[in-house]
Structure 1
Amino acid sequence: MRLYLSTAALVAGTAILSSSALAQETLVVNSWGGTYEKLQKELIFEPFERANNVKIQVATVYSADMLAQLRAQKNAPQYDVVQFSGGQEVVAAKEGLISPIKPEELSHAADLYPFATAGLARGEGPVSLVTAIGLLYNEKTAPSAPSSWKDLWDPKYEDHLILTDLSNSYGLLGMLMMNQVWGGTLENTKPGLEKVGELLNRSVIITSSPEVQQNFAQNDAWIAPFSQDYAHVIRQSGQPVRFVAPKEGMPAVFFTSNVVANRPNQALAKKLIDFSLSPEVQAAFAREMRYSPTNSKTVLDAEVGAEVVHGDAINSLVRFDPQTVDGMRNQLIEEWKKLIAR
């Protein structure tokens, strides 16, 4: 049996399809490329699209460039949700570039560690993930496992030490932590610079994350201040490198998710951020990349839990004031350059 549709019916059907297509909203977000962006698409963006009839457009834009774009687009922003990893949300909130989020607008807010929601009152987005900076060591060749930042000065590690250049955020935060354990402050970095100066004739100075892996693999590195997620990357490459949380605490990189001001889909943008804060999503990022979850309800298996700062240990994380650090960064880098040029 053949079915014949009238012209009117075809027009009606086309109108319904067009209406359905128009009903699909779009969110524009930034990510940071690589494995992180790939996981975001698999764990967050694609499931959220299916559940909410929304299209998510992803642009690879890093934090500092993202802030610059928001400033340039202030009167006509092009993004709905932006992520920062360098504290740029503090500046963005003060400049009115991002919209405040109320705790009651996030179903997971009550389950987040207090530090993850502390910025909401200042108009910043919640902290979604964290990577701690501690000590990496080669468990087969190092004489023993370190337990303190001051162990970097222990002569038993001889000339098998890696230091990271301050142009790298991990290196900068590690330096600020060393400064703190030797009595310095953000206002006085002389103690840290002087103590690091004592290590220069024993260390290899690297500038990028891949160089850390290369030095453990090829140059018999034993110990390095670096991040917990990269310790996992090195172990996956076959190197026997472990991450240690020093007893004095750890600086950390805090990833925040923020709603851009003056955009039409504010409620949907907040819903996307809330989805990323779920225990299931955060457990997956801990498992795949060894990022620390900020949702206290996140359950980690024993292997992951042994390599990720979580639970009560999350209170050992140190967050240096992002705006202060940003303001002193260039001067500190110049002082560092003079130090290593001696």
Structure 2
Amino acid sequence: MKIYSSIALSGVAALMATTAFAQGGTITINSFGGAYEEAHRQCVIDPFEAETGATVQIVTAYSADAFAQLRAQAQAPQFDVIHFSGGQEIVGAQEGLLDPIDPASLSNAADLYDFAKSNLEAGEGPAYSIAAIGMIYNTENAPEAPSSWTDILDEAYADHIVLTDISNGYGMLGFLMLNQVQGGSLDDIQPGLDAVSSLLENGAIIVSTSPEIQQEFAQNDAWVAPYASDYAFTLRNAGLPTAFVQGEEGTPASFITANLVAGRDNDELALKFIDMEISPEAQACFADALRYTPTNSKVELSEEVAADVVYGPDAVAGLLRFDPTVIEANRADWVDAWNRTIAQ
């Protein structure tokens, strides 16, 4: 991508200037593997190494596993920067596993939307991407594009609805939004369970994984699936006529955060890495590669990419975050109630 040629050139200049970072420094991070890790390398890791001369060691670990490692290594952590997508930074900050971040130490912090930097000084790292949950729909076969979360219950879609099990993180967020528009809350998920029962009676199906969603759209005439914006892009790349739309009542958001680990001596280099992740260049790259929503207000996207993500101040105003600590505290009970509901 052209915007990264300038980063590469600045990296060469930095190396020629022999900065303090270009002396064999090393930081250790986690990334999430697969296509995400490929994009992470393209958008942040490779430009960072070119600009600083430092080496980035990558441990492939999803959020829950990375957090378990962080807890187990509390006295001697291996990570300098740790990434989460399930809200683990909230608990990590409370437990003293993450260091507070002075916003002044990040040159790009001022350009972040407020929600992406609200608790830096408490130890919760900035959100550098958002996986937005809305509705993926078949642009050719659906009678019309859904615009509201209540549209999922429209009998016009009947047996063309695909729900995702709440053991899946995106499935959980979609369910909680359906519950909310039906009058429920995090203290009462029964309205959502009742809505699921109604959907199943009308012929909706439930899947557990994203590849199963693709199968339903490709082979079984699925029209609408509450899920994440990035997967609409995945389906379209597979040749399926799909698009993503936000529900007018709000858009649940999975925050992808970059956090400064406590007890390490690489803070300056680690903060530089985090600062690159929240830069408009890196976030535009993530949006282009994976269709994640940017959190930096200065990001400029093409019309094609912007159509697939939650983009701009008006759109991001509709993002909402269900409290990850409440979800985690209730997950087992909710999954049990869900399983009883879908078994009826």
Secondary structure at the aligned position of 2:156 is classed as helix
1:316 alignment partner, one of 315, 318, 326: 318
Q: 1:302 aligns to what?
A: 303
Q: 1:4 aligns to what?
A: none
Range moving further from structure 2, 21-30 or 241-250: 21-30
Q: Deviations over 1:196-250 (max 9, x none)?
A: 1111131111000111111100111011101100000000101001111111011
Q: Hey, what's the Cα distance between the residues in 1 that align with 2:47 and 2:243? A: 33
Gaps of 5+ in 1: 1-19
Q: 1:109 aligns to what?
A: 109
Q: Hey, what's the Cα distance between the residues in 1 that align with 2:306 and 2:330? A: 35
Q: 1:36 aligns to what?
A: 36
1:1-342 pair list within 5 angstroms = 23-201=23-201, 202-311=203-312, 312-342=314-344
Q: Deviations over 1:132-191 (max 9, x none)?
A: 100111111111111111111111112111010010001101110011111111011111
Secondary structure at the aligned position of 2:55 is classed as strand
- Count of residue correspondences: 323
Distance verdict in 2 for CA 1:104–1:22, change over 3 Å:
closer
The aligned amino acid for 2:302 is D
Secondary structure at the aligned position of 1:29 is classed as strand
After TM superposition, give the deviation of residue 119 of structure 1 in Å: 2.0
Q: Hey, what's the Cα distance between the residues in 1 that align with 2:171 and 2:163? A: 7
Q: Hey, what's the Cα distance between the residues in 1 that align with 2:168 and 2:336? A: 14
Q: Hey, what's the Cα distance between the residues in 1 that align with 2:245 and 2:21? A: 51
After TM superposition, give the deviation of residue 335 of structure 1 in Å: 0.1
The aligned amino acid for 1:214 is Q
Superposed CA RMSD in Å reads: 1.3
Distance verdict in 2 for CA 1:50–1:222, change over 3 Å:
same
Secondary structure at the aligned position of 1:135 is classed as strand
Q: Hey, what's the Cα distance between the residues in 1 that align with 2:308 and 2:65? A: 31
The aligned amino acid for 2:247 is P
The aligned amino acid for 2:233 is H
Secondary structure at the aligned position of 1:292 is classed as coil
Gaps of 5+ in 2: 1-19
Q: Hey, what's the Cα distance between the residues in 2 that align with 1:21 and 1:171? A: 42
TM-score (norm 2): 0.92
Q: Hey, what's the Cα distance between the residues in 1 that align with 2:124 and 2:136? A: 32
After TM superposition, give the deviation of residue 121 of structure 1 in Å: 3.3
Q: Hey, what's the Cα distance between the residues in 2 that align with 1:238 and 1:220? A: 14
The aligned amino acid for 1:105 is S
The aligned amino acid for 2:333 is Q
Q: Hey, what's the Cα distance between the residues in 1 that align with 2:127 and 2:22? A: 33
Q: Hey, what's the Cα distance between the residues in 2 that align with 1:53 and 1:141? A: 52
Runs of 4 or more, structure 1, over 6 Å off, are none
The aligned amino acid for 2:308 is E
Secondary structure at the aligned position of 1:99 is classed as coil
Q: Hey, what's the Cα distance between the residues in 2 that align with 1:307 and 1:78? A: 36
Range moving further from structure 2, 291-300 or 116-125: 116-125
Bigger radius of gyration: 1
Contact 2:21 2:269 in 1 (8 A): no
